[in-house]
Amino acid sequence: MANPQRFAFPPDFIWGAAAAAHQVEGANWASDCWALEHARPSFFAEPSADACDHLNRYTDDIALLAGLGLKAWRFSIEWARVEPEEGAFSQAAFDHYARVIDCCLAHDVAPIATFHHFTNPRWVARDGGWADDRIVDRFARYCARTAEALGAGLAWACTINEVNIPDAIAGQMRRVAEKFPDQAAAAHAALGAPVQAFFLFAGGDGYARRAIEAHFKARDAIKSAAPHVPVGMTLSIQHNVAENDAAADGLAAYRRQAYAPYYEAARADDFLGVQTYTRQLIDATGRPHRRPPEGVEVTQMGYEYRPDALAAVCREAWAATQRPLFVTENGIAAADDARRAAFIREALTALHPLSAEGVDLRGYLYWSLLDNFEWLYGYRMQFGLIGVDRATQARAIKRSAVMLGEIARANAV
């Protein structure tokens, strides 16, 4: 019998987990990120190396996800594998991702593919990457070919993961590049182009126009090859709050830079992917605070522990776009798995009133299925529902994973 104290989610609500190719697959040699990790000195704490060897272990990982009771797997297709040199598409790479999709379908798991999750092929970066206009048509061509090869099996498609994040963190990344000129020079040498070629450093300087055009062309290419697949972008949206009354203009300025053009673009999409991790104060100059207020609980990432941020962000994204929303990422980096379980439960409980408010929310994907390569931070951060032994690649299911699976099976929290 249903527990009357539980909050039910809408029927057909989709429960799952997410990851990105570069962070879990391993051996992504043809990517710009790999080159940056091996620059000396590097902005990256350590190289991604074999990551979680998900390239070879995807059948086990998808079986684990399905065994928990989760029904969706958000993975990314690695452009650097599919098109390691310009125009040289790899049939073996398409075949690999076709097997990933088939494996999902065999487990009754919805395959949700992201076409770009931060990394580019090296040849794209060499030409300036996200700082160069040619990326628009190159990305669209890769999406067209990929959707022709793989689109039939997909349940949902995301074009560019967190397409707004370069603009949301532009000031911070500019300061990082200035503060570490040796790393910046080594990155330039490794890429054959300034570090702004790499997605996370690309904000400002016409990035929004380029990225939104790339999204539109990619969306059209995917839809024409696979008309049944809902296509959207995903956005990194934190719950931004003015630090005090005097910072209202600063908050508005930050919103114009980090979100407004992207919300506008998303209004023509099938859905919007929402990705939220925390609450963030904004000062009067429009700068996000680098650290949370004194005395609050912080996660491994140094973020304020704010599971309630997700509901606030969903309200904002719904008001701004009126598009169906999908939580394509939400999670916490924590050594103590009990904090992860609490975070998930609190985040989901706070979502409960949304459906009565008319917000069309389709699903929730936890970030991440596995402890994985957290970009510049390397392997220190533990976002996973499942732990990964770095020496043996052995997987260890955490209690939070079992809890999320139970919530998914009950469709209630």
Selected from 32, 61, 162, 316, the binder of ligand BGC by CB under 6 A is 162
Per CB under 6 A, contacts with ligand BGC among 268-287 are 275
Contacts with ligand BGC by CB under 6 A: the residue count is 10
61 sits near ligand BGC (criterion: CB under 6 A): no
- Neighbour-count burial of 112, counting CB atoms closer than 10 A to its CB (0-12 exposed, 13-18 middle, 19+ buried): buried
State yes or no: residue 31 binds ligand BGC (CB under 6 A). no
How is residue 60 written in tokens? 């086990």
Q: Is 304 in the site for ligand BGC (CB under 6 A)?
A: no
Q: Is 78 in the site for ligand BGC (CB under 6 A)?
A: no
- Does 161 sit near ligand BGC (CB under 6 A)? yes
- Nearer to ligand BGC by C-beta: 9 or 139? 139
Toward ligand BGC, which CB reaches closer, 98 or 176? 176
Please tell me the distance from the alpha carbon of residue 260 to that of residue 280, in angstroms, as a whole number: 17
**In this structure, are residues 398 and 384 in contact, taking their beta carbons and an 8 Å threshold?**
yes
371 near ligand BGC, judged by CB under 6 A: no
Give the residue with the Cβ less far from ligand BGC, 48 or 275.
Answer: 275
Residue 330 interacting with ligand BGC (CB under 6 A): no
Residue 343 is a binding residue for ligand BGC (CB under 6 A) = no
With CB under 6 A as the contact rule, the residue among 32, 83, 304, 329 that binds ligand BGC is 329
Residue 258 within binding range of ligand BGC, rule CB under 6 A? no
374 binds ligand BGC (CB under 6 A): yes
149 vs 236 by CB, closer to ligand BGC? 236
Minimum distance from residue 334 beta carbon to ligand BGC (Å): 12
Pairing mode, if any, of strands 156-160 and 231-236? parallel
Using the rule CB under 6 A, is 240 a contact of ligand BGC?
A: no
Nearer Cβ to ligand BGC (153/378)? 378
Q: Is 167 in the site for ligand BGC (CB under 6 A)?
A: no
Residue number, 21 or 184, with CB nearest to ligand BGC: 21
Exactly one of 367, 385, 386, 404 binds ligand BGC (CB under 6 A); which one? 367
Minimum CB distance to ligand BGC smaller for 75 or for 123: 75
Q: Does 299 bind ligand BGC (CB under 6 A)?
A: no
Nearer to ligand BGC, 42 or 127 (CB): 42
Interface mask (CB under 6 A) for ligand BGC, residues 4-23, using x and -?
----------------x--x
Q: Cβ of residue 76: shortest distance to ligand BGC, in angstroms?
A: 9
Binding residues (CB under 6 A) for ligand BGC: these are 20, 23, 161-162, 236, 275, 329, 367, 374, 383
